[in-house]
Chains A and B, each alone.
Chain A
Amino acid sequence: MQVELRHVSKTFRQNGRTIEVLQDINLTVREGEFVCLLGPSGCGKSTIINLIAGLESSDQGEVFVGGTPVTGPDPSRVVVFQDAALFPWLTVQGNVEFGLRMAGVGPAERHARALEYLKLVHLSKFVHAYPHQLSGGMKQRVAIARALVLQPAVLLLDEPFAALDAQTRAVLQNELLEIWELARPTILFVTHNVREATGLADRVYVISSRPGRIRDTQTIAVPRPRHADDPVLQAHQYKILGILGEEVEKVFQEELGETVHFPEARHEASSEQARGMHI
């Protein structure tokens, strides 16, 4: 389903100061599109996810999914959080079945569907394990299976792989793309990793911080499977890094009161930097 934000603004009050987390955000994600929200920490990307999920409401503007305004959370818009957020008292199977149980699906069908998706994330051998027995990568796989088993129209991921090591991240990115091909939900994927964004998304929204605004949109018209050393990808990354460099400098300035200069952001990029390795 299509996701649309129209003139969305949100402010937080903290210690008497008003912080504009999001300022006049306008974005449209077409049905079945894979979009990344990219930006430095604290720029409101998670807030956008929460708004679409219905966990928070905007102060101004509206959020539409499939043409209808968002009023609250719903299993058609599931979120995968950075910290898996699995229910520790349930087994892997119990976790994946949870949404189906809430929807009133009977036990036999629940079991079958849960197993199907656990196979997709390559965890069929861990069906009866408890979350505390799993590694970070495995927990995220369960979280993804738990979300996708509901066949949501919109899948929201809030920096899901940020806490994982590079190898696990690469594997899970591929798994996510594979599963996406099957049902093609609309995906909004939040990350601060430029390489991840350009490697996964059809389009990347680059978001500035405080106030959170959309600084740029990059359409990555590179067919999948994509390769890290594709020069088109690297050009996108370079452009994005330029914008982000300015943003990060701004954040440093605000938070630390110091002027920090990222010379690489403005000059000819080294190959390391163009691949986002320095982030």
Chain B
Amino acid sequence: MIRNVFRTLFPKGYSFLRPEALVLFVIVWEAAAWLWPSWPSLLHKVLPALERDFTDPTFVQAVVGSARRMSIGYVWVMLVGISGGMLLGRLPIVDQLLGSFAVAIHAIPGAAWVPLSIVWFGMTERAVIFTVLLGAAGIVMVETDTGIREVPPLIGRAARTLGARGLNYFWFIVVPAAIPKIVGGLRLAWAFGWRALMAGELLTSVNGLGQRLNQVAKAQQLDQLLALMLLIAAIGIVVDGMIFKRLEYEVRVRWGLV
């Protein structure tokens, strides 16, 4: 029955979570809990703690808050990352002047941007969103740039003999040809962004999952802490699997890359 539920939710071709994996996970966890008493049981301690959390309105607010900040940040990441990448790929002058900056921004981990964000925006939501932007835009820029530069030569030649030139060529050939790479970059950006979000929330006093981690760690509540981490990981896996991985797969199939 569990299998059927999974099959309807996650059709074949890009299932990202097998029921068997979950079962194995639970078994290993419980075995560890049995062996090391200080490690809380998943079924008896951690999951109930999570259940209790969801009855707490501040907790629910935190989850919603994190989701909201992530969404806003991600929209910015898409805007800045894709347009930046297009400029880098298309205009040599932009690449010469700003190319290294894009790579540099990408090289700095999201968490490392938090101090600067706090300096500029204070301990506010904006600082967190800014952290997400800086943590994730870099990869989108880099992937978009590569995608823009790598039009399959045969496609390019066919397009030119059919009369595509200049701006037409850019919008109708170069950009569509780059979409698989761009989508790949957006998928990675989600993971980078989610990480940056947690780091940002951990270090600012904004009411989110990250900050809650801090609270719970201070209160030395291991089962709550683990519950929180599971939730954070689960959100990451589900969003990646159900949205991005699926989108990437469908795009690659249509573009003939699979």
Contacts and interface: CB of A to CB of B under 8 A. Distances in A.
Interface of A: 53-55, 72-75, 77-79, 81, 83, 85-90, 98-99, 101-103, 130-132, 146-147, 150
B254 A89 contact: yes
A89 B176 CA distance: 7
A74 B159 CA distance: 10
Nearest to A90: B176
A contact face: mostly helix, strand, loop, or mixed: loop
B contact face: mostly helix, strand, loop, or mixed: helix
Given A55-B157, A88-B255, 19 more contacts: A53-B157, A53-B161, A55-B161, A73-B160, A73-B161, A74-B163, A75-B162, A79-B157, A81-B157, A85-B155, A87-B173, A89-B177, A89-B254, A98-B162, A99-B162, A99-B163, A102-B163, A102-B172, A150-B162
Interface string B4-30: 000000000000000000000000000
Contacts, number: 69
Contacts of B173: 87
B157 A87 contact: no
Interface of B: 154-155, 157-165, 168, 172-173, 176-177, 179, 253-256
B235 to A, nearest CB: 31
Contacts of B159: 87, 98
A129 to B, nearest CB: 11
Contacts of B154: 81, 83, 85
Contact of A132 (B163, B179, B254): B254
Contact of B256 (A53, A73, A131): A131
A158 B213 CA distance: 64
Given A131-B256, A132-B253, A132-B254, A87 B176 contact: yes
Contacts of B179: 89
A132 B256 contact: yes
Contacts of A89: 176-177, 179, 254-255
Closest 3 A-B residue pairs measured CB to CB?
A75-B163, A85-B158, A99-B162
A87 B123 CA distance: 49
Contacts of A98: 159, 162, 164, 172
Nearest to B152: A85
A38 B76 CA distance: 56
A99 B162 CA distance: 5
13 contacts: A72-B160, A73-B163, A75-B162, A79-B157, A79-B161, A81-B157, A81-B158, A83-B154, A88-B256, A89-B176, A98-B162, A98-B164, A102-B162
